[in-house]
Amino acid sequence: MTTFRLVAKRKLKALKQTTPTTTLKEVINPKSTKEAHITDAKVNYVAADVDTAAEVATALNTANTTLNTLLSQLESYGILRSS
């Protein structure tokens, strides 16, 4: 079982002891409003898109920004520890 699932299950179990109608979704995202959309990572690069080192660096930076945003949100929910 993944760390994510273990943490979520533990939180759900703890909450069920006090509020039996709590769902797993509420444990993962207890906020009443939805988070902002994380920009989708581009997955359809072709050789013509990344001809220069600068274009490769830009593509990697874009992907890393998306990944870092996702990790940050997982940390804010207590699913992952802060780095």
For 20-79, how does the pLDDT look when each residue is reduced to its tens digit (9 = 90+)?
565 666 666 655 556 677 777 777 878 777 788 888 888 889 889 989 988 888 888 788
Element containing residue 15 per DSSP (H, E): helix 3-16
pTM higher than 0.85, yes or no?
Answer: no
- Domain identity same for 52 and 69: yes
- Domain identity same for 28 and 39: no
pLDDT, tens digit (0-9, with 9 covering 90-100), for 5-24: 777 777 777 766 665 565 66
- Domain identity same for 62 and 74: yes
Domain that holds residue 69: 35-83
Using alpha carbons only, give the angle 47, 48, 51 rounded to the nearest 5 degrees: 85
Six-digit token pair at 10?
């533990």
